[in-house]
Each structure stands twice: as structure tokens, then as C-alpha cells.
Amino acid sequence: MSTTRPLIAASLALVTAAALTGCATGTEEVAADAPAASDAGTVTFSWDRNTAGEDEEPAYEETTVEVPKNPETIVVFDMASLDTIGALGAEVAGAPLDSVPDYLQEHLADDAFNAGTLFEADLVAIEAQQPDLIVIGGRSAGLFEDLNEIAPTVDLSIAGSFEETLERNTTFLGEVLGAEDEAAEALAELEDGIAEARAVTADAGTGLGLMVSGGRLNAMAPSEGDATGRNARGGLIYDVFGVEPVVEDVKGATHGEPVSFEFLLEHNPDYLWVVDRDAATAAEGAQAAATVLDNDIVNQTTAFQNDQIVYLDPTAWYIVFGGIQTTQIMIDDVLQIAE
């Protein structure tokens, strides 16, 4: 099945936000005399930040940052936030340009500068641009302390469930950009789309999310309430879109190890939901997931014989998940099985 989907309806080109602010515990605060980019006030954003070192047990402390409304110069390290900012009608002045997917390029300013990589910021280049707001998340969350010395910096990483984070981040960015109504409209449309997709998967039987990389197969598992990092990415097909796992305890059945082709035949899900990680990361010389799965064992499975192997958009499901346009792409991917 093809996974090339239209980006999003034209009505979502302008999208996002009802008034809600902060990460897990954000509040709004308008100050008419605050030194904001447009003297329009500020929005206060709070989240629990992991202050532990790389090899240490997580240690969280509440972090609060006051962000100017209507910022003129925005630097973004989180691709989901770039997605949402663009969908709400704003543009981004700087980003890790080598990591911006093709379908999000239009949200960059014509003279957008390269802010570094997802893991390492070019602090000199960023400071030279004097940004009003910096947005980080996921891979770039560790950049907070250095970047917050340059400009107000917020971490929009997934916190809580995917849907809670989508609502929080979209609402916050909508309020910052003066696009509250558009944000609220976008969230309502996405909520309806997810509900439609869940209605389709409810009658689809069992499924297995499968990550293919380097010729190996990894069974994706529900997040089990911990929708952070890899758990969020792996559990989306179950947690958000309601696919019934073919194995009750995927983690227990696989021990976190790659699975075999025989595993697929043994458990024999009605649908295979496939993410080609190598395509998402542009791994050089890698075999396409469809090629890896084209063999005599997989061809005996119910999913293959009923043409129910669904190849999900790899960039949306592995790299960007969490933005407005990208969530619509994911909805469209799931709705393929209703066609």
C-alpha cells in the first residue's frame, strides 16, 4: 500500500490554539509593560526539566520561562514545533537546516540560518540573530541551559500522553503567535480525525507495529502510560489510534530484542503497521522495508495475503510526530485501511 498522503487540508494551513499554557503545569500571564518583542505581553510556560547528567538517574525540577507574545525571530530545534508554528501562519528564522523535512521547508524564512544540529547548537550564530524565542524538544532538550542564556527557551518535548502534549503545545504556540482561534480549530479537526481513525481500527482486528532498520525487525509496543522518548514513538499506533496489539505484552514477548520473520508468522496479526526507519534517517545503502519483508515467510502471513501491510510515512512517525500537519498525515495513514 502506498503511504504518500496529502499534507493537510487547506483549512489547516492556518491552525491552532485555545487558551491553555505551559507544559504539564503552565499558566498564562499577560503583562502590558513587559519587554516583549511586540510589547504585546508575555506567556508563562512551565515544565518539569530533567537536570540529571546523561548517565544519571532522572532528576526533575519545575522550570518556568516567560515568553514574549508575537515574537519576531524564532529559532526552532524541535521539528514538531516547526510544523505547528508554520501551520499557524508564522515562519522560523533559524533551525538545524539539515534536519528539516522537505514538507516543512516552506515554514522557514527565505533567509533562514543554520542553528546547528538537533544535538548541538551553533551558539555564536544564534546569538548573532538575537532571537525572541527558542523552542527545543526531544533530542535537543539538553540544550536548554546554553540557549536560555541567549533568549527565552521552552522545551516542548512530549510530556504525558501524545494527545495531551499535542493540545498543550498547540495551545501554547497559538497563544504566543496570536492564533488562539486557529489553534482551537486545528485541535478540534485533529481530534475528530483521530476519532475517525480509531473507529476504523476498532473493526480491523489485531495489529503489530513494526520498525524496520538495517534489515532487522523490531516489534513496537504500547507505551503503557510512559509516553516519552522512544515509548511515545513506538506506542503511537496503539495508544493514539487504537490498534489492538496481536500480543498482549509486546515488550515481554520480545524482551526488547529484534524479532524474526517467524515471529510475524507465529503471531500472525491481521495488519502489520510498518515504519521504515532507514528511510526516515536517509540511511545510505539501506534496503527498503518493503524489500526486507518480501520473503516466503512473511508472504504466508494474513497481513500479506490480505494486502494488509501498511507502510506508514517514516518521517511523520519516526522524526516529526507531534505537529499539526504531521498528525494529519498520521491520521491519513491509518485511514488508508478504510479505502
pLDDT in tens, 178-209: 999 999 999 999 999 999 999 999 999 999 99
Say if residues 269 and 208 touch (Cβ distance below 8 Å): yes
Res 50: pLDDT: 81
Print pLDDT tens along the chain (339 aa).
433 333 333 333 333 333 333 333 343 333 333 334 445 799 999 999 888 776 778 788 899 999 999 999 999 999 999 999 999 999 999 999 999 999 999 999 999 999 999 999 999 999 999 999 999 998 899 999 999 999 999 999 988 889 999 999 999 999 999 999 999 999 999 999 999 999 999 999 999 999 999 999 999 998 876 666 666 677 899 999 999 999 988 888 887 789 999 999 999 999 999 999 999 999 999 999 999 999 999 999 999 999 999 999 999 999 999 999 999 999 999 999 997
Note the pTM of the prediction, 2 decimals: 0.85
Q: What letter represents residue 55's amino acid?
A: D
- Same fold flag, 10-180 and 187-338: yes
Ranges of each domain in the chain = 10-180, 187-338
Q: Which of 290, 202, 198 is nearest to 240 (CA)?
A: 198
pLDDT digits (tens, 9 = 90+) for 285-331: 999 999 999 999 999 999 999 999 999 999 999 999 999 999 999 99
Confirm or reject CATH 3.40.190.10 for domain 10-180, answering yes or no: no
Residue for cell digits 524496520?
A: 212
Please give the grid coordinates belonging to residue 64.
518556568
- CATH of range 187-338; options 3.50.50.60, 1.20.120.140, 3.40.50.1980, 3.40.630.10: 3.40.50.1980
Say if residues 326 and 83 touch (Cβ distance below 8 Å): yes
Residues in the chain: 339
Please list, residue by residue across 73-109, b when 16 or more beta carbons sit within 10 angstroms of its beta carbon and e when fewer do.
bbbbbbbbbbbbbbbbebebbbbbeebbbebbeebbe
Please give the grid coordinates belonging to residue 335.
485511514
